[in-house]
């Protein structure tokens, strides 16, 4: 029987060929398929490894970032030897070694409304391994406008979400989440952490959904959102419905092109400008003020577990949520110096308090990492 598979491919994928739902014809479908993976990090690692191993003909990888040692706890595409190198270059090296029969294309760019058409037009399915709302809305909108499946996944600490959005078969991402949360409301993995094996679980499920769609088997997660909790090994299924008033796939859409998406993301997810310099203290200045005996209040907004790694002496621990809910109890006369790991969470607190009249609120620039680097090398960066 004629096949487009080579003898080498027959041997490599023989365990697929023995599965009735895949077989020779199914493996040929995988070889002819093309998949774009946005993100070569926690989710992108298992997604790309398993899709390349499965024999997808062409894989595209988009990521602008470089490998950092803090990535290696969960981003299993990369290793120590690849630190400071582009993630897409590191990924291509590993994936080519895993399966040299698959074509790997890389894009070391931040995906945007300006470049997504050029990057994504040659791919059948788009898989989301990103970590921000702007990218999720962009991928969704591109897929709706181009009638492509969007394989969604997200992770935080011990919890993950998975769905398949395809406006030709059910709701899109905007049907369920019309607008993103305000900037800073939802912490990133860099601010809140992530259980190292969680992206492996969620990413592998995303890869499985891709293979099911290509092969035409099983029931892809159209119209369903799955919520996974690693702590109690639960998988909750939520039924989703198409929203007739959806701004892109509804009966009267208001988003008609990706330029509209760029404007939407600019409005809802604008990157906040840095706070004024006179709202901040560098670690050296803070150390001098502490030594002078000045009456100041040091407030650490991190989770208590983070203080086990590094702690600035004399600081008290009040988490971001408590500060915002108990704002009226704060002193408006004594200088309040807010601290986090790198100055991002504490900057949000200062911005919020300053808007409420707390002109005595200041941010420790660089956070505890800056403190360790400049003042106290006996403690640890993280």
Question: Average of pLDDT values for 350-373?
Answer: 96
The confidence score (pLDDT) of residue 184 equals: 59
Positions marked catalytic: 189, 340
Question: Average of pLDDT values for 220-227?
Answer: 98
Between the alpha carbon of residue 371 and those of residues 34, 195, 315, 329, 366, the distances in Å are 47, 26, 13, 27, 7
pLDDT surpassing 90 at residue 168:
yes
Claim: this prediction has a pTM higher than 0.75: yes
**Confidence grade of residue 330 (pLDDT, cut at 50, 70, 90):** very high
pLDDT surpassing 90 at residue 349:
yes
- For residue 120, the SS3 value is helix
Question: Average of pLDDT values for 139-157?
Answer: 97
Between the alpha carbon of residue 98 and those of residues 51, 59, 80, 91, 94, the distances in Å are 11, 13, 18, 10, 6
State both tokens at 335: 């200088």
The confidence score (pLDDT) of residue 272 equals: 61
């Amino acid at each position: 029987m004629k096949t487009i598979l080579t003898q080498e491919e027959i041997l490599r994928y023989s365990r697929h060929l023995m599965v009735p739902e895949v077989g020779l014809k199914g493996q040929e479908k995988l070889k002819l398929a093309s998949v774009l993976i946005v993100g070569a990090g926690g989710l992108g690692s298992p997604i790309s490894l398993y899709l390349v191993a499965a024999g997808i003909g062409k894989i595209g990888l988009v990521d602008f970032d470089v490998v950092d040692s803090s990535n290696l706890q969960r981003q299993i595409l990369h290793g120590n030897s690849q630190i400071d190198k582009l993630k897409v270059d590191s990924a291509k090296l590993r994936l080519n070694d895993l399966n040299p029969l698959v074509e790997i294309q890389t894009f070391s760019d931040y995906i945007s409304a300006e470049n997504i058409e050029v990057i994504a037009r040659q791919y059948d399915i788009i898989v989301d391994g990103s970590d921000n709302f702007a990218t999720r809305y962009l991928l969704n909108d591109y897929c709706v406008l181009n009638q492509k499946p969007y394989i969604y996944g997200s992770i935080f600490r011990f919890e993950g979400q998975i769905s398949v959005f395809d406006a030709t078969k059910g709701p899109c991402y905007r049907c369920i989440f019309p607008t993103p949360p305000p900037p800073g409301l939802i912490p990133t993995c860099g601010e809140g952490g992530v259980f190292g094996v969680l992206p492996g679980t969620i990413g592998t499920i995303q890869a499985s959904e891709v293979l099911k769609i290509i092969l035409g088997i099983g029931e892809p997660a159209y119209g369903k959102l799955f919520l996974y909790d690693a702590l109690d090994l639960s998988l909750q299924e939520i039924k989703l419905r198409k929203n007739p008033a959806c701004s892109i796939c509804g009966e009267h859409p208001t988003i008609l092109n990706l330029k509209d998406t760029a404007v939407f993301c600019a409005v809802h997810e604008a990157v906040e400008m840095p706070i004024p310099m006179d709202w901040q203290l560098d670690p050296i200045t803070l150390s001098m003020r502490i030594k002078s005996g000045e009456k100041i209040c040091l407030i650490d907004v991190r989770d208590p577990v983070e203080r086990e790694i590094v702690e600035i002496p004399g600081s008290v621990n009040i988490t971001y949520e408590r500060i915002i809910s108990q704002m009226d109890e704060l002193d408006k006369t004594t200088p309040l110096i807010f601290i986090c790991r790198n100055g991002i969470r504490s900057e949000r607190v200062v911005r919020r308090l300053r808007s409420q009249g707390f002109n005595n609120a200041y941010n420790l620039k660089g956070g505890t990492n800056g403190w360790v680097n400049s003042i106290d090398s006996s403690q640890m960066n993280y």
